Amino acid sequence: MTAPATPARTAPAAPTDNLEKLSAPSWSIEEAEALLRTLPAIASARVLRDPDGTVRDVHVLATTDLGPKQIVRNVESALLARYGIRLDHRAISVAQSATARVAGAAARTEAPAKDVAPAPAPAPAALPAPTPGRGIYFEDVEVRRSRSAGLACTVTLRTGGETHTGEASGVETARARGELAATAAVRALAPLLSEGVTLAFESCVVVAAADREFAFVVVSGRSGRETTVLSGSCEVRDGIETAAALAVLDATERWMERGGAR
């Protein structure tokens, strides 16, 4: 008879609490969910992440004011621009309801109780000014080709209830696709810049790293005599044009927060 082998001893697993403390991200779930609730048409949001900080799923309840594809794009852009989270669109679930209401809208549409005199309106309180640079979201990029005019790109950005577009055109080449989209994104940002501040496109290249491709953009911001070189990047997933436009937002976000925006 042969005695059974002694099972191999394994070291105890590291406590989950310690792992979470060592690799805890700089943002909280509450902050991310609050950011998503500020996006158009979103009534509520739930962010699920692993102990190492990796976002696993995002669940959104939205109204029918926007299409699901646009809502997913807004969520991707907001998490990328604010927290640097590059999230696959397949991890975002959108449920839409005709009765869903965004925060504040429900309160405005509530009817007053019967036979109860409405309370006098309080004196308007001074609201804080919006933080410059926040709330600028990528909405769409349109690419048009013609034999006579070459390639034309139109980038649409959204801030609050307003949209801003920028256009650029030129000869179609592999490199020009990203350059024209980045130039169009810079021009779309122009109406949002503070007085006396300008923004100019410098370059856009595709960089290969970690078996992926990234659009790397360089732009320059000028205020008075001071010029600031800004750079940003975005993984190429939905085309070089989309990645180049998002890289421009990545490059300019903090600069606009510091006074580049109105």
What is the per-residue pLDDT across 190-228, written as a single tens digit (0 to 9) for each?
998 888 889 999 999 999 888 889 999 999 998 888 899
The percent of residues above 70 in pLDDT, for the chain, comes to: 76
In a domain, 126, yes or no: no
pLDDT at 102: 66
This prediction has a pTM of 0.51
Which of the residue ranges 25-29, 175-179, 218-222, 239-243 would you say has the lowest mean pLDDT?
25-29
Say yes or no to pLDDT of 130 above 60. no
Residues 140 and 256 in one domain: yes
Kindly report the length of the chain. Answer: 262
CA–CA separation, 161 and 51 (whole Å): 36
In a domain, 168, yes or no: yes
CA–CA separation, 206 and 61 (whole Å): 35
The DSSP code for 54 is: -
Residues 153 and 38 in one domain: no
Instruction: Identify the bridge partners of residue 167 per DSSP, sorted by sequence position.
Output: 154
Residue with the bigger pLDDT between 120 and 166: it is: 166
Say yes or no to pLDDT of 153 above 80. yes
Say yes or no to pLDDT of 241 above 50. yes
**What residue numbers bound the domain in which 188 lies?**
136-260
Residues 149 and 251 in one domain: yes
State the average pLDDT over residues 129-153. Answer: 75
CATH number of the domain residue 141 falls in: 3.30.160.270
Domain count of the fold of the chain: 2
Say yes or no to pLDDT of 242 above 90. yes
H-type alpha helices, the chain? 16-23, 29-37, 68-83, 105-109, 174-189, 240-255
For the CA atoms of 79, 84, 89, 95, the dihedral, rounded to the nearest 10 degrees, stands at -20
CATH number of the domain residue 69 falls in: 3.30.300.30
